[in-house]
Structure 1
Amino acid sequence: MPKRVDHDLRRRQIGEALLRIASTRGLQAASMREVATEAGVSLRLVQYYFHTKQELLLGALAYLGEQLSARVEAHIRALGMPPTPRSLVYGTLTAILPTDAESRRLTRTYAAYYALVLAEPALAADHGATYPDLLERFLAGHLRTAQRSGQVDPDLDAPTTAAGLLALTNGLGSSVLGGQRDGDAALAILTYHLDRLFGGSPGGSAAGPAPEAS
């Protein structure tokens, strides 16, 4: 009998090959042929699953979002904190900071996509902001829960604050990759702002360095 092909697995294999190229060499020069070589498949097979480079970029971006989601979930579990709004916001944002090998890889890969969007704005128009938007809504939801329980200022604009926290975290990540500061310094800055936001509230302190997710 002919061997059955797992098409979803094959697509993921190709998409994740692109992500490896993005994290090490960037995306501007990443051709379909280079992706085929990285994935260990033929160029024709890459073109069978992804008809254009744009389709490949967007498909791989969805896999990157899944990887970041898995990183956040594992990191929050590793913290071992009670699931309060404060600990979930803290765990999510500190998972994104490039403080270990996995988070540095994810940050470099997202940075490669950001750099590509500057040259190809159409990429952002086609679902490029889907995951950041979901993340902002996730953070805003926990901030609203914290408002209802009196943990943060009831007059806080939760969506704007969530967007600001995510922008702060992304900016700190860029400063770590650029060598301006190390991961511990970035973590201290983020913790300072979260302590000011949740300062004196119930639900456990966000202070202290986060252990790496396994």
Structure 2
Amino acid sequence: MPRRVDHDERRRHLTAALLRIASTRGLQAVSMREVAAEAGVSLRVVQYYFTDKRTLMLSGIAELAARLDRRVRERAAAIGTGLPPRTVFEVVLGAILPTDEASRADQLAWTAYYAAGLTDPAEAVDGRYAPDALERWLTGVLQRAVDAGEVPAGVDPRIEVVGLLALTNGLVSSVLGQQRDVADAQRVVAYRLDRLFGAAGD
């Protein structure tokens, strides 16, 4: 009796191969044939699961977003339930930083997508997986902290979140570029959070 194929697992396997190429050689090296070679399958298999390169590329963005979500949830679960706003930001921003080989590879893949989208609109990140949703969610978290008096009333939650995400993404680039190490990047994030959340008690 022929072995049943787990189609979802096969798609994940192919997507992982795509992301390995993106993180090591950039999106310019990605093709259906290269993904097949990296995954150890025939080109026909890749074409069966992904109708074209665009569909394949979108699967990579979706998987990167899912990996970040899993990383955040795992870190939050390790701490406990009912996390205070300050801890929520520590968990989320800390999950964005490349703290190990897996998260470093993911950030290199994100950077490859971002760089490709700057020069080729066809390679731009699909809006469904843009960081807008994360920005909106964190803004809600910070707004509730403002309402609860945990940060000064004059703070603009959206502006603060935009700045924190921009700071963290900038630190990602500096870590990937070996300008600074992860510990230094974490200290910078902690310093900024101290100034935001510590100011309420001053």
TM-score between the two structures when normalised by the length of structure 2: 0.91
* Counterparts in 2 of 1:143 and 1:183: CA distance versus 1, 3 Å: same
Q: Secondary structure at the match of 1:199?
A: helix
**Greater helix fraction, Structure 1 or Structure 2:** 2
Q: Which residue of 2 aligns with 1:122?
A: 122
Q: Which residue of 1 aligns with 2:69?
A: 69
CA deviation string 1:166-208 (max 9, x = no partner) = 1110000100111111111111111111110101557xxxxxx
Q: Percent identity?
A: 54
Q: Which residue of 1 aligns with 2:182?
A: 183
Q: Which residue of 2 aligns with 1:146?
A: 145
Q: Where do 5+ consecutive residues of structure 1 fail to align?
A: 203-214
The number of equivalent residue pairs is: 201
Cα separation, 2, equivalents of 1:156 and 1:112: 34
Q: Which residue of 2 aligns with 1:10?
A: 10
Superposed CA RMSD = 1.9
Q: Where do 5+ consecutive residues of structure 2 fail to align?
A: none
Q: Secondary structure at the match of 2:9?
A: helix
TM-score between the two structures when normalised by the length of structure 1: 0.86
Contact 1:81–1:87 (CA<8 Å) still a contact in 2? Answer: no
Larger RCO: Structure 1 or Structure 2 (Cα < 8 Å, ≥ 6 residues apart)? 1
Give yes or no for the alignment of 1:20 onto 2:20.
Answer: yes
**Pairs within 5 Å for 1:1-214:** 1-79=1-79, 83-124=83-124, 126-127=126-127, 130-201=129-200
CA deviation string 1:143-179 (max 9, x = no partner) = 0111111011223222222121111100001001111
Contact 2:147–2:153 (CA<8 Å) still a contact in 1? Answer: yes
Q: Secondary structure at the match of 1:5?
A: coil
Contact 1:16–1:60 (CA<8 Å) still a contact in 2? Answer: yes
Cα separation, 1, equivalents of 2:105 and 2:31: 20
Amino acid at match of 1:72: V
Q: Secondary structure at the match of 1:86?
A: helix
